[in-house]
Amino acid sequence: MAPESHATMSGGFQTFATKTSQIVGSKWAFTIATVAIVLWAVTGPLFHYSDTWQLVINTATSVLTFLVVFLIQNTQNRDARALHLKLDEVIHAIGKAHNEMIQIETLSDKDLEDLAAHFKRIRRELVEPKSDTGPKS
């Protein structure tokens, strides 16, 4: 596959995923889903609450849920990546900041735990009262 077609396909999917996630997350999508469930429930007596009647809603909701999970994950991945890049820019722009903090999301879990422990120690040192202030009167 040529790099141009991959970029076009990737951009096309991104556009589709973004627009679809906006639609699925709207009040109108919720309203339509609610109306569909109510209509399905109302038709129960007409279909004598048959297995086929139940299978229709189970299949529809399972397929939609399956597809929407991937859209949500794509959106979350994109948002998290953009947020990390923004934070990296802020870290880079602040003179006192530790530039080694840029892209720490790529570190191992052990490295992140060690870093969290380091900042916990720093916070404790800043918050706990100094013991070398002498006796109190």
Rounded Cα gap, residues 83 and 77, in angstroms: 10
Average pLDDT over residues 85-109: 86
Which phi and psi (to 5°) does residue 135 adopt? -70, 150
Rounded Cα gap, residues 64 and 72, in angstroms: 12
Mean pLDDT over all residues of the chain? 86
Residue 67 · residue 73 · CB < 8 Å: no
- Convert the pLDDT of each residue in 46-75 to its tens digit: 999 999 999 999 999 999 999 999 998 988
What is the model's pTM? 0.61
